[in-house]
Amino acid sequence: MTSIPCSAAPAVSGEPTPLPHAPADTLGPPVLDEMQLVSQLLAQLGRGAVPRLDWSDVRRRATPWVNAVRAHPPAFWAMESLLQEYPISSAEGLALMRLAEALLRVPDTATAIALTADQLGRADFAGHPDGSGHPVLSGLADQAIVWSRKLLPGDGADPAGLLQRLGAQTVVKATVRAIQLLGRQFVLGESIESALQRGHGSPRAGQALHSYDMLGEGARTDADAQRYLQAYRHALEAISASLPGGRASAPEAADGISIKLSALDPRYEAARTDLVAERLLPRVWTLVDAAARANLNLTLDAEESDRLEVSLQVLDALMRRVAAEHPQWGGLGLAVQAYQLRATCTVDAVVRQARARGVRLMVRLVKGAYWDSEVKRAQELGLSGYPVFTEKDHTDLSYLVCAQALLAAQDVVYPQFATHNAATIAALLEMARTTGARFEMQRLHGMGEGVYAQVMQAEAAPPLRVYAPVGRHRDLLAYLVRRLLENGANSSFVHQLADPGTGLDTLLRSPLAPRAHMKLPLPSHLYGSARANARGIDLAVAAQRLPLLQALTRKSDRTVPDVTPAQAAAAMDRLHAAQPAWAATPLAERCAVLRRTASALESDLPHLVALLAHEGGKTLGDGVAEVREAVDFCRYYAEQAERLLAPQVLPGPTGEHNELRLHGRGVFVCISPWNFPLAIFTGQVVAALVTGNTVAAKPAEQTPASARALVERLVQAGLPPDTIALLPGRGETVGTTLVGHRHCAGVCFTGSTAVARTIARTLAAQDGPIVPLIAETGGLNAMVVDSSALPEQVIDAVVTSAFRSAGQRCSALRLLCVHEGIADDLLEMLAGALRELRLGVPAQPDESWSVDVGPVIDAEAHAHLSRHLQRLEHDARLIARAPLPAALQSTHIAPVAFELARVGDLKEELFGPILHVVRWTGGVDTLVDEINALGYGLTLGVHTRIDERAQRIAARARVGNVYINRNMIGAVVGVQPFGGEGLSGTGPKAGGPHYLLRLCGEQTVTVNTAAAGGNAALLAGHS
């Protein structure tokens, strides 16, 4: 047992039905102080029965292994060789990876040719200095890839004659063959039968056991999950059929399987513990039961850190049933990731739980395969730190401390150490040397063979098990790419072993003397020292979620009375009078007000999220993101103002001083919408204020309380009250009064194109000065998907883009354009994913966290969307609709997808969860032209593995924000400045570097410095 403090997280009441017994309660928060934890880990190592490590012994043990592997390099297709020939940082490595990931799934020749040409065109596979050609790929494909570059036309190029086309197809076929051969090195078999045969029939049969995995992407639909379940079930049957009497003598002595819970349920996530209990658990149990009957090892793979707690809950539920129904069986297993800061606490929790249940477990210790995505998630969410170690040595150290705890828990654990790192293996053998503990080593198929060939020669070497992926190559190559990425990193042992330039000192470095400083900046420092990233929370952590749920239950007064047009006009006069004083306030003080406001918003996050849920129907996730956006606006515009508004000295003739100064224009009218009642409102208002304008702020009729929340905080932060007026009311009355007022010096408007036109006309009709209008309006936003895209990634992006926030975002996806070649399969997956969505009321604490889609904003919107749906029922083909509970019929619109015949059939922006789909074929340029012809130009999504095509589409599309291979919503201030062109708005982009300038007047001041007595500087010898 370790003594790392693993504090208990408070239980959260009012959540979905919890899974029985949650050992995860003892894990504590996922983010901790890394350096402090490292000191604790160091102190922990060598306690108890396991001897203290002397790293010189470790080196002594590992050095001959490394030397032997380097003296006899592995076969050319081994991961080590591939990485040496084609490091992923090289064009060739990247091309290889892209082709491996995508080519086999492309159904149509044209796209396959374009993809091959695109990737091979970037690389130089024949580029060996000695001109010998490349041994790996030329060996694999009979020089095909080398020829490809010469023969293939570029994407969109004129097909250059029949001969060349024939040549291109031949080359693509050869490339496909090459990739299949490559896949064979990392995938043991396309079926479990062939994998068993290959595994047992290899020259080394009998030396290694296997753990088979039916790999693929996680399930996105229930049908996917059923397919995976069937594949796992079949694998267990096949393994047990291969054993005498259908049963192993012991799980440690036979092949087993590894399963991913995410493959068995599309909603395997902490927010849906209800479904995990009702649907996933029974499925897993059928597998566990079958494994127990055959006495085989079944291991739950470790996945993302936000699933750790729910995975332990599943494990605990399984253990209870195993204890009751298969008390003799010791084959249930799980993988634990050492890179998680909670790794040692996880080991402790699992050991404790196994003892409590009286069940023996097989625990596979890994370092962790999702490091880059864990880091990205933490940065995107603005978490206080990372849930994973950020230094490789720290992961290695944590691995050893976890190993020590597992070795010491022999009464309930059979440790399985999975690593390819010779130093880690040597350290484990040193640690276990005197303990007599039983354990096994594990490696991945296609990796680490050389090192283990050495390790296994030792006397009393532990057993070895190989993790062996099984399935169709086209599905598994994404897995290969994952492994390439993971092991191709400079810090990876496999990469360093393959690199002859890495000396033993580096390769076998001790993790017991870690660096004092960490290199990776914390998520809060993502934007450097200029501004802090808005602080977020991790909803998957109960202790962080709790304050939000509590805030939902608190009563707050959300009534904000409308003002009359006369009151609005009087406010304009007051704001006009107050503007000079505010403009004269030092810029530093104006910026300080914004920064103090940002901090106040951050501190009040629970209250504001609750307000957004009650007033705007926002889900918790959307609410947190919105508050963070508001915070980012305040800090970003403060930083921009300091940069842009400082007087600039301009070049000119000697004897003259020229200076450009920016100043507020007067009273800005800010009219904001209900769909981002806090964030958009904040963006407009603080931009206008920081540039020295006073602000007449008219929030949407539906959401004035969210706007008031900002105004109150601005004033508390030191904004003089007469510089801003909150003027709720109807657009036709209050809005018109403000825009038409003689003191209106400019308008920021976000809303419909029709209202923007009305405002423009009102302004044009004024006799006074011509004032600027910044209008952000809607969009008929499209996503172009070609046949090289990964369907699961597309579905994730589509569901998020079209249905999150009930489709009530300007950026939301309205028109999905799918290549004909993959349309049937993709739309089937979309239908399945729609059926998984849960509609609900985000303001209800007991369901809030698990709601995917909330209500539409009001009855008027509901009626409008319903009318459109009636038309679609006649004019389009229904693809699928999410289930709509009867109680929500009058407030919610069920997310739905309809297929249209052509792009031009979409006429009108519908602000709701309604997705239109068209199929396309032929040239992508024509499709982009049709999208452009819709006249809007806000967001565009692109999903393709053909880089040149993605860039070509982006260049041709007349839109403001293009998102490639991801969702197309959630623009981040200062990162993806937001706003479009055409019918979508005037620009400049909100949250971008040009926004503030539009709110300013400009003045140059020229001083003739030679006027009084001549040019002293020139005479003194200076220009």
Ligand X SMILES: Cc1cc2nc3c(=O)[nH]c(=O)nc-3n(C[C@H](O)[C@H](O)[C@H](O)COP(=O)(O)OP(=O)(O)OC[C@H]3O[C@@H](n4cnc5c(N)ncnc54)[C@H](O)[C@@H]3O)c2cc1C
Enumerate the active-site residues: 776, 810
Judged by CB under 6 A, does residue 392 bind ligand X? yes
Judged by CB under 6 A, does residue 374 bind ligand X? no
Judged by CB under 6 A, does residue 510 bind ligand X? no
Q: Assign 37 to helix, strand or coil.
A: helix
| CB closer to ligand X out of 202 and 556 | 202
Judged by CB under 6 A, does residue 371 bind ligand X? yes
- Residue among 424, 397, 393, 470 nearest 198 (CA): 470
Choices 160-168, 368-376, 608-616, 728-736 (CB under 6 A): range interacting with ligand X: 368-376
Interacting residues with ligand X between 440 and 499 (CB under 6 A): 442-444, 467, 486, 489, 491-493
The binder of ligand X chosen from 311, 313, 344, 419 (CB under 6 A):
419
Q: In this structure, how many other beta carbons lie within 10 angstroms of the beta carbon of residue 60? A: 13
Q: With b meaning 16 or more CB within 10 Å and e meaning fewer, what string describes 877-910?
A: eebbbbebeeebeebbbbbbbbbbeebeebeebb
Shortest distance in whole angstroms from residue 992 CB to ligand X: 32
Judged by CB under 6 A, does residue 229 bind ligand X? no
The binder of ligand X chosen from 146, 196, 219, 366 (CB under 6 A):
366
Judged by CB under 6 A, does residue 65 bind ligand X? no
Q: Are strands 256-259 and 208-214 parallel, antiparallel or unpaired?
A: parallel
SS3 per residue for 748-813: EEECCHHHHHHHHHHHHHCCCCCCCEEEECCCCEEEEECCCCCHHHHHHHHHHHHHHHHHCCCCCE
Who contacts 767 (Cβ-Cβ below 8 Å, separation ≥6)? none
| CB closer to ligand X out of 335 and 856 | 335
For residues 714 and 86, give the distance between their C-alpha atoms in angstroms, rounded to a whole number.
55
For the sheet with 896-899, list strands across it.
877-881, 896-899, 914-920, 813-819, 781-785, 939-943, 961-964
| CB closer to ligand X out of 369 and 927 | 369
The binder of ligand X chosen from 6, 113, 179, 369 (CB under 6 A):
369
| CB closer to ligand X out of 370 and 439 | 370
H or E stretch at 695:
strand 694-698
Residue position matching structure tokens 């406010």? 571
Shortest distance in whole angstroms from residue 378 CB to ligand X: 13
| CB closer to ligand X out of 420 and 919 | 420
H or E stretch at 897:
strand 896-899
Shortest distance in whole angstroms from residue 442 CB to ligand X: 4
Choices 109-117, 360-368, 766-774, 825-833 (CB under 6 A): range interacting with ligand X: 360-368
Judged by CB under 6 A, does residue 342 bind ligand X? no
Who contacts 806 (Cβ-Cβ below 8 Å, separation ≥6)? 617, 853, 854, 855, 856, 892, 893, 895, 912, 913
924 with 786: CB under 8 angstroms? yes
The binder of ligand X chosen from 190, 391, 449, 602 (CB under 6 A):
391
The binder of ligand X chosen from 65, 86, 212, 339 (CB under 6 A):
339
Judged by CB under 6 A, does residue 395 bind ligand X? yes
Judged by CB under 6 A, does residue 368 bind ligand X? yes
Q: In this structure, how many other beta carbons lie within 10 angstroms of the beta carbon of residue 416? A: 26
Judged by CB under 6 A, does residue 389 bind ligand X? yes
Which residues is 773 bridged to in the sheet? 747
For residues 380 and 376, give the distance between their C-alpha atoms in angstroms, rounded to a whole number.
6
Choices 88-96, 335-343, 723-731, 813-821 (CB under 6 A): range interacting with ligand X: 335-343
Judged by CB under 6 A, does residue 301 bind ligand X? yes
| CB closer to ligand X out of 448 and 617 | 448
Shortest distance in whole angstroms from residue 693 CB to ligand X: 46
| CB closer to ligand X out of 289 and 449 | 449
Contact characters 933-962, ligand X, x per CB under 6 A: ------------------------------
Q: Angle at which helices 620-644 and 679-690 pack, to 10 degrees? A: 10
Q: Residue 838 corresponds to which tokens in the numbers above?
A: 């849960």
Judged by CB under 6 A, does residue 305 bind ligand X? no
The binder of ligand X chosen from 61, 220, 267, 420 (CB under 6 A):
420
Q: How far is CA 775 from each of CA 155, 476, 481, 763, 787, rounded to the nearest angstrom?
A: 37, 47, 44, 13, 36
| CB closer to ligand X out of 389 and 637 | 389
DSSP 470: E
DSSP 988: P
For residues 242 and 250, give the distance between their C-alpha atoms in angstroms, rounded to a whole number.
14
| CB closer to ligand X out of 421 and 619 | 421
Shortest distance in whole angstroms from residue 112 CB to ligand X: 31
| CB closer to ligand X out of 371 and 911 | 371
406 with 363: CB under 8 angstroms? yes
Residue position matching structure tokens 């800010």? 670
Shortest distance in whole angstroms from residue 425 CB to ligand X: 9
Shortest distance in whole angstroms from residue 373 CB to ligand X: 10
Instruction: Kindly determine how many residues on this chain lie close enough to bind ligand X according to the rule CB under 6 A.
Output: 31
DSSP secondary structure, 554-577, as one string: S------PPPPHHHHHHHHHHHHH
Contact characters 637-676, ligand X, x per CB under 6 A: ----------------------------------------
Judged by CB under 6 A, does residue 212 bind ligand X? no
Shortest distance in whole angstroms from residue 390 CB to ligand X: 5
How many Å separate Cα 73 from the centre of its chain?
A: 37
The binder of ligand X chosen from 171, 209, 264, 302 (CB under 6 A):
302
Q: Assign 1000 to helix, strand or coil.
A: strand
Shortest distance in whole angstroms from residue 397 CB to ligand X: 10
Shortest distance in whole angstroms from residue 494 CB to ligand X: 6
Shortest distance in whole angstroms from residue 393 CB to ligand X: 8
- At residue 656, φ and ψ (nearest 5 deg) are -145, 140
Q: Are strands 648-650 and 464-470 parallel, antiparallel or unpaired?
A: unpaired
Shortest distance in whole angstroms from residue 353 CB to ligand X: 19
766 with 737: CB under 8 angstroms? no
For residues 286 and 292, give the distance between their C-alpha atoms in angstroms, rounded to a whole number.
10
Choices 43-51, 332-340, 891-899, 969-977 (CB under 6 A): range interacting with ligand X: 332-340
Shortest distance in whole angstroms from residue 389 CB to ligand X: 4
| CB closer to ligand X out of 449 and 486 | 486
Nearest 5°: CA angle at 177, between 173 and 178? Answer: 115
| CB closer to ligand X out of 291 and 827 | 291
| CB closer to ligand X out of 58 and 638 | 58
153 with 159: CB under 8 angstroms? yes
Choices 9-17, 48-56, 439-447, 905-913 (CB under 6 A): range interacting with ligand X: 439-447
The upper half-sphere exposure of residue 919, i.e. CA atoms within 13 Å in the direction of its Cβ, equals: 14
Cis check: omega of the bond before 129, within 30 degrees of 0:
no
The binder of ligand X chosen from 96, 115, 276, 335 (CB under 6 A):
335
125 with 150: CB under 8 angstroms? no
Where does this chain bind ligand X (CB under 6 A)? 301-302, 335, 337, 339, 366-371, 389-392, 394-395, 418-421, 424, 442-444, 467, 486, 489, 491-493
